[in-house]
């Protein structure tokens, strides 16, 4: 007789709600002390996916009590216009967090834009100064998606220290900072990517497997170790309009011990962590004001 034990579903939506409720209470107390966290989100152009993300961020701000300001700028915005807008927000005392929604139109130098954000207001944790701090394990702001994944693991009592973790994907937004955060949590970390030889052999070593590639169906059952924890960062729009992750969920859930769904796994956590980073930035800014 074979007993098939289906994986525990790691419910990111539920944890994100818990975190937002914790933040709502914290923000209420901050407001009693006269601190109102403020987030500015800049959207350049009209990419439909970006528009949806920005609307979700605005809604989350309203839920927790963060003051939000969405600046919609035309597709034809110049580098200089965008930099001037960011500089105004850098100087604005009511704004503690600045997020420029990526990707930006091709004529804009993304690196330069990220570097023009005051690192203290960089709630994405993309500025080189904050990336550096992350790599030496200091600072109180962490990149949103990787931080959300750590929170999913911790709140489900999944041990990270000493575990073999394989991250598939090496983007600056997810793959690289994810590896760094896992390392800061004492995991043994491997980063696999498009040039990795024998991907399945590498992924099969993982106690915790994290896929952040953006390719539907990339991770199949034969690539996963029995009872592994599988985290799916992929958000792929299928031809039938449905959203799918990188992981073949139906297959892999039969072998994994725990797995995040898409949607309802990592996605909601990214936004919850953005809210947390904005609160942290507001608290630090206030400390500086009264120093």
**Residues 81-100 close enough to bind ligand GUN by CB under 6 A:** 99-100
Q: Give the active site residue among 101, 120, 225, 232.
A: 101
Looking at 9, 36, 71, 102, which residue binds ligand GUN (CB under 6 A)? 102
Q: Which residue, judged by CB position, is nearest to ligand GUN in the bound state?
A: 102
Residue 124 is a catalytic residue = yes
Does the protein bind ligand GUN through residue 123 (CB under 6 A)? no
**Residues 199-228 close enough to bind ligand GUN by CB under 6 A:** none
In the bound state with ligand GUN, the residue whose beta carbon lies nearer, of 124 and 280, is 124
Beta carbons of 136 and 186 less than 8 angstroms apart = no
Residue 47 has which token pair?
């990419």
**Residues 253-282 close enough to bind ligand GUN by CB under 6 A:** 270
Does the protein bind ligand GUN through residue 181 (CB under 6 A)? no
Q: Is 197 helix (H, G, I), strand (E, B) or coil?
A: coil
Q: Strands (DSSP E) along the chain, which ranges? A: 8-9, 38-44, 67-73, 97-100, 164-168, 188-192, 208-211, 229-232, 236-237, 243-244, 258-259
In the bound state with ligand GUN, the residue whose beta carbon lies nearer, of 109 and 222, is 109
Q: Rounded CA gap, 161 and 183, in Å? A: 9
In the bound state with ligand GUN, the residue whose beta carbon lies nearer, of 39 and 100, is 100
In the bound state with ligand GUN, the residue whose beta carbon lies nearer, of 35 and 70, is 70
83-91, Cβ contacts within 8 angstroms, sequence gap of 24 or more: 83/112, 83/113, 83/116, 85/42, 86/42, 86/113, 86/116, 86/117, 87/116, 89/40, 89/121, 90/116, 90/117, 90/118, 90/121
Q: Shortest Cβ distance from residue 68 to ligand GUN (Å)?
A: 14
Residue 232 is a catalytic residue = no
Does the protein bind ligand GUN through residue 71 (CB under 6 A)? no
């Amino acid at each position: 007789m074979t007993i098939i034990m289906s994986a525990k579903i790691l419910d990111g939506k539920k944890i994100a709600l818990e975190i937002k409720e914790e933040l709502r209470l914290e923000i209420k107390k901050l407001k009693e002390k006269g601190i109102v966290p403020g987030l500015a989100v800049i959207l350049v152009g009209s990419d439909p996916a970006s528009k949806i993300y920005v609307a979700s961020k605005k809604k989350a701000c309203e839920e927790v009590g963060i003051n939000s300001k969405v600046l919609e700028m035309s597709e034809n915005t110049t580098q200089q216009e965008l930099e001037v807008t960011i500089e105004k927000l850098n100087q604005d005392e009511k704004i503690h967090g600045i997020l420029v929604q990526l990707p930006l139109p091709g004529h804009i130098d993304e690196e330069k834009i990220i570097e023009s954000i005051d690192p203290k207001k960089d709630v994405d944790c993309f500025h080189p100064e904050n990336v550096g701090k992350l790599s030496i394990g200091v600072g109180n702001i962490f990149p949103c998606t990787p931080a959300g994944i750590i929170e999913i693991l911790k709140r489900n009592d999944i041990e990270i220290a000493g575990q073999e973790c394989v991250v598939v994907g090496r983007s600056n937004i997810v793959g690289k900072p994810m590896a760094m955060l896992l390392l800061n949590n004492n995991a043994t970390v491997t980063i696999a990517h498009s040039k990795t030889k024998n991907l399945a052999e590498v992924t099969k070593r993982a106690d915790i497997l994290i896929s952040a590639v953006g390719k539907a169906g990339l991770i199949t059952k034969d690539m996963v170790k029995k009872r592994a924890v599988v985290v799916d960062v992929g958000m792929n729009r299928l031809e039938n309009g449905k959203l799918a992750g990188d992981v073949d969920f139906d297959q892999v859930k039969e072998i994994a011990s725990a797995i995040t769904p898409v949607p309802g796994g990592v996605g909601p956590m990214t936004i919850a962590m953005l809210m947390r980073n904005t609160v942290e930035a507001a608290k630090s800014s206030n400390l500086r004001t009264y120093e």
